Amino acid sequence: MMSRLRQYFIAGLLTWLPFVVTAWVLLWLVGMFDGMFAAVLQKVEHLHEPLAPLAELLRRIPGLGLMVIAMLLLLTGMVATNFIGQWWLRQWDKVVARIPVVRSIYSGVKQVSETLLSDSGSKAFSRALLIQYPRPGLWTLAFLTGAPSGEVAEHLAGDFISVYVPTTPNPTSGFLLLVPRRDVIELHMSVDEALKYIISMGVVTPQEAAALAGAQPALPHA
């Protein structure tokens, strides 16, 4: 009896947990953006008193901050993709490049975001790999990011690839490794399946490949 009740409890927990976590994340995002928007409205109230009733009314609309910021991002994207907007962005980059500490943070975030959000960057993590790390005999999942080039490639003898080894359960942090191609095992599982395996700390096992004919092509050469 107790084992059956425990089974029902776990089944109910697994049913509700995804919904609760998803709702919590969405509510957190809406609350964060609404808080930012409310701070802007508060500044407007201090600068122009007659707008205080309107600001108070807007503050009571749930989700308005999220919609306003989404529209702001769309408008910014429209401006940034035309000739004049790109010219202003280049001038801004030149100004930031002259600030010692800020330029390091700004340039790093800019390069990573452009790589991940661009069309070419969306394909950078298209392969799930298996490599030995942190020492021979221990294996971990990794993702293909490309191949070494420039000065780095000149100091490497042989055929190497660049791989990203994510940490668990947070795959947004990890390590960049340059690994010989011969030491890499390409997996048939998708990137989504590999991420689920990493985030769940090995609890959620990826499904096996349906057939060898549907396998991904070989790793690209440099």
What is the Cα Rg of the chain in Å?
Answer: 24
54 shares its domain with 134: no
Q: Does the pLDDT at position 132 exceed 90? A: yes
Q: Examine the fold and report which residue of 43, 59, 75 is the final residue of a domain before the chain moves on.
A: 59
The better pLDDT of the pair 130, 193 is held by: 130
Query: Comparing 2-6, 88-92, 138-142, which segment has the lowest mean pLDDT?
Result: 2-6
More confidently predicted of 99 and 217: 99
What span, in angstroms and rounded, lies between the C-alpha atoms of 167 and 34?
A: 32
Using CA atoms, how far residue 162 sits from 74, 122, 142, 180, in Å, is 34, 16, 10, 9
Counting the structural domains of the chain, the total is 2
Question: Which tokens belong to 9?
Answer: 């409890």
Could you report the per-residue pLDDT of 82-121, keeping only the tens digit for each? 778 788 888 888 888 888 877 777 777 776 666 555 555 4
73 is a domain residue: no
Instruction: Choose one of 29, 59, 89: the last residue of a domain.
Output: 59
Same domain (yes/no): 129, 206: yes
Q: How far apart, in whole angstroms, are the C-alpha atoms of residue 109 and residue 93?
A: 13
Q: How confident is the model over 18-70, as pLDDT tens digits?
A: 777 778 877 887 777 777 777 777 776 666 667 667 666 676 776 777 777 77
Q: What is the pLDDT of residue 133?
A: 92
Q: Is residue 104 part of a domain?
A: no
Q: What percent of the chain has pLDDT over 90?
A: 14
**Is residue 40 in a domain?**
yes
**Tally of CB atoms within 10 A around 32:** 13
Task: Note if the bond before 171 is cis, omega within 30 degrees.
Answer: no
Residues 55, 128: one domain?
no
Range of the domain at 22: 2-59
Tell me the pLDDT band of 217, cut-offs 50, 70 and 90.
very low
Read off φ and ψ for residue 145, nearest 5 degrees.
Answer: -120, -10
Give me the pLDDT at residue 20, please: 79
| Upstream peptide bond of 136 is cis (omega within 30 degrees of 0) | no
- Answer yes or no: are the C-beta atoms of 181 and 159 closer than 8 Å: yes
Question: Is 97 part of a structural domain of the chain?
Answer: no
Inside any domain, residue 47: yes
